[in-house]
Chains A and B, each alone.
Chain A
């Protein structure tokens, strides 16, 4: 590990993708806010579209391709994640959900997280609170209060989008500084705290 990293997960399907665009803006805002804290952080893009088939294969075989295994490592090893999805049928896209479904349970506990979503109109904006937040609560991630939803019109008009992006970036940076993620101990590390000895299993220790 070199400097701390933020994994920026985006599940847009278009090229170019407004979902990726929002993810980039949230990333830049976060990095600026971290710099103001005196922290130099790297960000790594995890774009899901090229991994779509690998994710589906992993679901049916438990066997990640090298590219997918590398993407999963980027996310679970990161100090924070920014996760952005397009809105499909009132929820995150299946691709977005599937990627998090193939990550082993517990791997994202306590990770500072910023959420974003895109959609055709602001009428879809509840996706953040009805779909994304419940899922990240289940994953035991620490999610910042602001979630930026960008409707198509936000990209053209003089909307508050930029201000909301800046606010969410600051919140993620603040959270990373104040409550950095706690690493789960490795249950295969005999001297680590997550290791359970047989005496403990028998109730003798």
Chain B
């Protein structure tokens, strides 16, 4: 694994192909994601990240199910999310689902937490959108406990209290999945990522780069403030959006009809205006390389670059071609070029194997025989009452 990870992320929209009038079925799109992930691994990409939504026209309501399936069909690909809703999901289920995925994939999993941007999802899941930041803070604090403490006693404001809860399975090798925190413009989330020394991910898609720049700058500064290292040692991930053909003209001709009516930015500025103002690149692989290398100018050396390639109704064949070009023509150059300018001391992109080595060295590993909780000796029976009593005794 090189110092940077490259991959694709998707929001899972089901959108009509405006050039043919055809709308794929849910089934086709779901199976299409599998084909995309397999292609991504085949052409040497590192990451496939799944969005999470709970309303049509999106299909990705159950990311760990689909990522588990992809895990079984791939060997190297890191399975991630973009994003996992830390606000409306129960942190218990996040802890369990991702630990399970970690075991099944032999550690090829990390996740990006986000608050979600669909208002009704909060009330649908029994939450209040005005509590968004508070939920992100409280739920994540609980998630960390569940991944690091064999028996959790906990009470908070937004969830029913826990007494004697053990999240199963324990994290693989006693090391929890790496966590990125995603936010477009909330300084509190950059601060949260920095506090824990976790990664910070900016989707870097719809907005001018100034938003990305100030979020990353704050995150890096606070990462150092909390004693995790120098600002340039923080973990930064970025999104981006591309469409490529062998000539710029061909790329624009082919992509324009999709762009013009795209669900998020269609019916707005022209393709030319949008590519000028945002990270979107529509052109040749060389143009994508050139623009992507410039991201470093405003965020510094970073660890992960994901591209959005499958939205706005682009047909699967077209998407697979994009992944092919990305993996064979673009990413090899990006790896080489980014590596050649990388400052000394910048950490590599996080992997499970490296994190296990680091945790072992730091003495923070919870156990390595594939059953961290029992190796902890904190709980060898299945009797919750006994475990609580024992913890109470420890505390006294």
Chain A interface (Cβ < 8 Å from any Cβ of B): 56-58, 60-66, 69, 187-188, 190, 195-198, 201-202
Name the 4 nearest CB pairs between A and B, nearest first: A198-B195, A61-B268, A61-B265, A57-B268
B191 within 8 A of A: yes
The answer on a CB contact under 8 Å between A198 and B268 is no
Selected from A60, A196, A197, the residue in CB contact (under 8 A) with B268 is: A60
Selected from A63, A66, A190, A198, the residue in CB contact (under 8 A) with B274 is: A63
In the assembled complex, the Cα of A187 lies from the Cα of B186 at a distance in Å of 9
How many interface contacts (CB-CB < 8 Å) are there between A and B?
59
Q: How far is the CB of A63 from chain B (nearest CB, A)?
A: 6
The answer on a CB contact under 8 Å between B191 and A198 is yes
The answer on a CB contact under 8 Å between B207 and A190 is no
With A61-B206, A62-B207 known as contacts, the answer to whether A202 contacts B269 (CB < 8 A) is no
B388 within 8 A of A: no
With A188-B214, A201-B137, A202-B141 known as contacts, the answer to whether A65 contacts B269 (CB < 8 A) is yes
The answer on a CB contact under 8 Å between B137 and A61 is no
Q: How far is the CB of A88 from chain B (nearest CB, A)?
A: 23
B152 within 8 A of A: no
Q: How far is the CB of A51 from chain B (nearest CB, A)?
A: 13
A198 to chain B: which residues have CB within 8 Å? 191-192, 194-195, 226
In the assembled complex, the Cα of A62 lies from the Cα of B205 at a distance in Å of 11
B194 to chain A: which residues have CB within 8 Å? 198
B137 to chain A: which residues have CB within 8 Å? 201-202
A187 to chain B: which residues have CB within 8 Å? 187
Chain B interface (Cβ < 8 Å from any Cβ of A): 133-134, 137, 141, 187-188, 191-192, 194-195, 206-208, 214, 217-218, 221-222, 225-226, 264-269, 273-274, 277-278
The answer on a CB contact under 8 Å between B277 and A63 is yes
B226 to chain A: which residues have CB within 8 Å? 198
The answer on a CB contact under 8 Å between A190 and B206 is no
B274 to chain A: which residues have CB within 8 Å? 61, 63
The answer on a CB contact under 8 Å between A63 and B269 is yes
Q: How far is the CB of A190 from chain B (nearest CB, A)?
A: 6
With A188-B218, A190-B222 known as contacts, the answer to whether A61 contacts B188 (CB < 8 A) is no
The answer on a CB contact under 8 Å between A190 and B214 is no
In the assembled complex, the Cα of A65 lies from the Cα of B277 at a distance in Å of 8
A63 to chain B: which residues have CB within 8 Å? 206-208, 265, 268-269, 274, 277-278
* Cβ-closest chain B residue relative to A197: B191
